[in-house]
């Protein structure tokens, strides 16, 4: 068991109140993974003050130097990858192979953003006037609050912290209360790499108290949030009311289209990975599969057979495919949605209940669950469940399938399985999601392109790399005009 602390101004400290809470292993409710400080307003004030005091020095540190420190962080992450992956499995439940992938994603993002320390490219363009030059440059925004979820406890903090720091911002990091030990171990790596004090600060505590006060603090310049739609929407309203920048990524109701010409075995494999990977606890999880009516029965038989072979248990065991859901609240929510699906008339094809036997007896385990003959308007086809529950929906053809996929409030990720090049092009054009996959599942985004959704899946700029990605989120543009003519020249007039 770990006794973790807040990290403020380069020091590991307890909450001023002395209050704590426990982080529990969801695969074994009897195991306490960590004792964690329950921070209050005084701790938030201390963290924001430290970030503000460190900002000027970090802003003035040359960007290549900032990148060099981040490269050292990444090298340490490589050495600690296995330990961090095992900790993820213990604290949030994902199987060990996925834990390794989570840490690797942070490593990939670290390498990418550390390299930006020698780019951070702007633009130089010619002036319409003589003896005058013009350019745009990236500059930091200031003090960033970063609020992260529990389902990717190393990767998503990496998505946010690396670009925020390389751009010259300082940070107050508020992780999920379900994965605080992972967050503390991640921050320890930055300390070990020699990041100066005050630049990265860590405050633990519940989102409704610690997180909301952090977001509204007048010393904070901008916020990046990944989490539930309800929380994100509330934070958006709070920030907009005080004219503060915020970026939110808030989940989805993602769908895979399976056309009548699809490679059905490949489509089944993608639907299994999309629907039940990370126990369905991904914002990009494929919780709907929209199947052409001509192949619906064959697909259902194959999909049900594949899902029935999935093995539940502690993710540290080699023979386990699916771990527990993260906590009791999520456990109850998912089981409630299963009951809703039954009452709505969905045909329960597989699962539908908790698994309380064998090595699952002490944790929050739910069987892989499949509903067939789901109609697009059912709640289980419209609302984000965030668990191992997949709804199968019939479609008459491509146009109908796209209509079904687009018919929700969310728009994060979608996929289509087809051998028809024209069909894939139409889907690519018409699917109303931020991410579209062709002959692949709805999960598996790579860090060198922007990540984020449309509609109620996200608000503001995007995360990750590429044009319009994290650098645009964590920096602002400054335009500079320099006139060395020695006289006043008037653009658009003196021509």
d(Cα 394, Cα 259) in Å, to the nearest integer? 11
Catalytic (active site) residue 283: yes
d(Cα 2, Cα 302) in Å, to the nearest integer? 44
d(Cα 278, Cα 25) in Å, to the nearest integer? 15
Dihedral (C-alpha) 310, 314, 316, 319: value to the nearest 10 degrees? -30
* Cβ–Cβ < 8 Å for 313, 327: no
Burial class of residue 421 in the structure, from the number of CB atoms within 10 Å of its CB (0-12 exposed, 13-18 middle, 19+ buried): exposed
Catalytic residue among 98, 249, 367, 463: 249
Catalytic (active site) residue 191: no
Local structure of 334: helix, strand or coil:
helix
Give the containing element (helix H, strand E) for 108: helix 96-115
d(Cα 214, Cα 330) in Å, to the nearest integer? 25
Strands 170-174, 413-417: pairing kind: unpaired
d(Cα 263, Cα 252) in Å, to the nearest integer? 26
Catalytic residue among 167, 182, 239, 283: 283
d(Cα 86, Cα 83) in Å, to the nearest integer? 5
Q: 429: Cβ–Cβ under 8 A, 6 or more apart, which residues? A: none
Other beta carbons within 10 Å of 101: 18
d(Cα 474, Cα 143) in Å, to the nearest integer? 10
Q: 288: Cβ–Cβ under 8 A, 6 or more apart, which residues? A: 253, 254, 255, 256, 374, 381, 390, 391, 392, 393, 404, 405
Q: Which of 397, 317, 323, 391 is nearest to 355 (CA)?
A: 323
Q: For residue 438, give Cα distances in angstroms to 258, 262, 420, 428, 468.
A: 11, 11, 11, 8, 22
- Tokens of residue 253, six digits: 């109701």
Burial class of residue 495 in the structure, from the number of CB atoms within 10 Å of its CB (0-12 exposed, 13-18 middle, 19+ buried): exposed
d(Cα 272, Cα 446) in Å, to the nearest integer? 20
d(Cα 90, Cα 24) in Å, to the nearest integer? 8
Active-site residue numbers?
Answer: 249, 283
């Amino acid at each position: 068991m770990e006794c973790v602390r807040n990290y403020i101004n380069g020091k590991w400290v307890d909450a001023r109140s002395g209050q704590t809470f426990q982080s529990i292993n969801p695969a074994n409710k009897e195991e306490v993974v960590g004792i964690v400080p329950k921070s209050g307003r005084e701790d938030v004030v201390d963290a924001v003050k430290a970030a503000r005091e460190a900002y000027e020095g970090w802003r003035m540190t040359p960007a290549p130097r900032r990148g060099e420190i981040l490269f050292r962080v990444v090298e340490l992450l490589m050495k600690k990858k296995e330990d961090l992956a095992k900790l993820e499995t213990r604290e949030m439940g994902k199987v060990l192979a996925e834990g390794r992938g989570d840490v690797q994603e942070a490593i990939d993002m670290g390498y990418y953003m550390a390299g930006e320390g020698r780019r951070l490219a702007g633009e130089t363009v010619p002036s319409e006037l003589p003896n005058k030059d013009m350019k745009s440059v990236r500059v930091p925004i200031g003090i960033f609050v970063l609020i992260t979820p529990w389902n990717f406890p190393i990767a998503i903090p990496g998505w946010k912290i690396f670009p925020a720091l390389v751009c010259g911002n300082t940070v107050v990091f508020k992780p999920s209360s379900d994965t605080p030990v992972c967050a503390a171990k991640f921050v320890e790596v930055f300390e070990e790499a020699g990041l100066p004090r005050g630049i990265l600060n860590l405050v633990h505590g519940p989102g409704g108290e610690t997180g909301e006060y952090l977001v509204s603090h007048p010393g904070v310049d901008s916020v990046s949030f990944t989490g539930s739609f309800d929380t994100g929407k509330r934070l958006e309203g709070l920030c907009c009311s005080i004219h503060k920048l915020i970026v939110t990524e808030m989940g989805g109701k993602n769908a895979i289209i399976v056309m009548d010409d699809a490679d059905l075995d490949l489509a089944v494999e993608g639907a299994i990975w999309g629907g039940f990977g990370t126990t369905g606890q991904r914002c990009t999880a494929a919780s709907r599969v929209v199947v052409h009516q001509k192949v619906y029965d064959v697909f259902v038989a194959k999909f049900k057979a594949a899902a029935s072979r999935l093995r539940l248990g502690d993710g540290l065991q080699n023979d386990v495919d699916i771990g527990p859901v993260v906590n009791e609240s999520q456990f109850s929510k998912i089981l409630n949605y299963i009951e809703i699906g039954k009452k709505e008339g969905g045909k329960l094809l597989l699962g539908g209940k908790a698994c309380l036997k064998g090595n699952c007896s002490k944790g929050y385990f739910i069987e892989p669950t499949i509903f067939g003959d789901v109609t697009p308007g059912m709640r289980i086809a419209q609302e984000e469940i965030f668990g191992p529950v997949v709804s199968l929906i019939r479609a008459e053809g491509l146009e109908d399938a796209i209509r079904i996929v687009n018919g929700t409030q969310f728009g994060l990720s979608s996929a289509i399985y087809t051998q028809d090049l024209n069909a894939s092009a139409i889907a690519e054009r018409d699917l109303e999601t931020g991410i579209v996959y062709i002959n692949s599942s709805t999960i598996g985004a790579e860090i060198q392109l922007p990540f984020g959704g449309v509609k109620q899946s996200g608000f503001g700029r995007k995360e990750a790399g590429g044009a319009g990605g994290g650098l645009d989120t964590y920096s602002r543009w400054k335009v500079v005009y320099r006139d060395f003519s020695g006289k006043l020249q008037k653009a658009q007039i003196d021509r």
